[in-house]
Structure 1
Amino acid sequence: MRRAPGRGATYSAAASATSVRELDELAHWLDSKFSLFGIRFGLDSVLGLVPGIGDLAGFGLSAYLIAQGYRMGARKRTLARMAANVAGDTVFGSIPLVGSVIDVFWKANRANMVLLKKDLARPGVIRRT
């Protein structure tokens, strides 16, 4: 366990790895858990079929990934890129029917996990509480 003087909370590599695995699993469920005719899709695409509420639920789950990224010590630049991915996914995903097709091909949550893993791999990451 490490602690930076005067900043953040204790950082545990094992706890962080577990959290990253859990977030990666959530992103997988949201973007690519299922396959139909070789096309991968997730709950985000399915939820998008429910007008209004489905897109809001998908946004909430995607925002949770960003919040956890913040808690795990991701830089502001990375969080902003993650937020831009979610904003685009939400805006384009809210178009009736076409939005669900866009959700199938635009894997915003998977992209956010790539950004988050890369950012958290840098030395000296301090977990926020």
Structure 2
Amino acid sequence: MDVTRHRAHSAWINAERIKRLSDRLIGVGPIGIGLDGVLAWVPGANLIYSLGAGGLLIAEAVQVGASTATLARMGLYIASNSAMTGVPVLGWAMDTLFPGHLMAARALQKDIEARFGRPAEAPRSSRFGFRRPVAGV
């Protein structure tokens, strides 16, 4: 599979958007909550969202030729995140705090960075954990 640097960086940016939307809409330091955490308390809706967002991340990974190990790790994070929704209250609370999409997105981003470098427009972390926005987000 011949993947261009531009396509790989586009996947990196898409992963960043999904990561933010799912697990970092509101965040302070290492703790954040996104749509996945809010929807954890809506039976059915969270599973649909979790699998949809996870499916988009996996599709991006496949399209840019991510390694088998990266795909397996991403699948494990997404499956774990989605499985929690089956346990009422305790599972929902755990899902609210478990950043499965964020971890899957980071795995994809690290894979892309190792092969294509970090995109120039990628956000940089500050020492307080806040990030400057990604262009277009």
Q: TM-score, normalised by structure 2?
A: 0.72
Q: Is the 8 A contact 1:93 1:103 kept in 2?
A: yes
Q: Is the 8 A contact 2:24 2:32 kept in 1?
A: yes
Structure 1: which 5+ residue stretches go unaligned?
A: 1-7, 125-129
Where does residue 87 of structure 2 map in the other structure? 95
Q: Distance in 1 between the 2:86 and 2:9 partners?
A: 33
**Equivalent position to 1:110, from 82, 97, 102:** 102
Report % sequence identity: 24
Moved more, 65-74 or 100-109: 100-109
Q: TM-score, normalised by structure 1?
A: 0.76
Q: Is the 8 A contact 2:58 2:71 kept in 1?
A: yes
**Equivalent position to 2:35, from 28, 33, 43:** 43
Where does residue 24 of structure 1 map in the other structure? 16
Where does residue 3 of structure 1 map in the other structure? none
Where does residue 55 of structure 1 map in the other structure? 47
Partner of 2:11: helix, strand, or coil? helix
Which amino acid counterpart does residue 100 of structure 2 have in structure 1? A
Residues matched between the structures, number = 115
Q: Distance in 2 between the 1:87 and 1:115 partners?
A: 15
Partner of 2:105: helix, strand, or coil? helix
- Correspondences of 1:73-92 after superposition (within 5 Å): 73-92=65-84
Higher radius of gyration, 1 or 2: 1
In the superposition, relative to structure 1, how do residues 123 and 50 fare at CA in structure 2: closer, same or farther (>3 Å)?
Answer: closer
Which amino acid counterpart does residue 68 of structure 1 have in structure 2? E
Q: Distance in 1 between the 2:86 and 2:34 partners?
A: 16
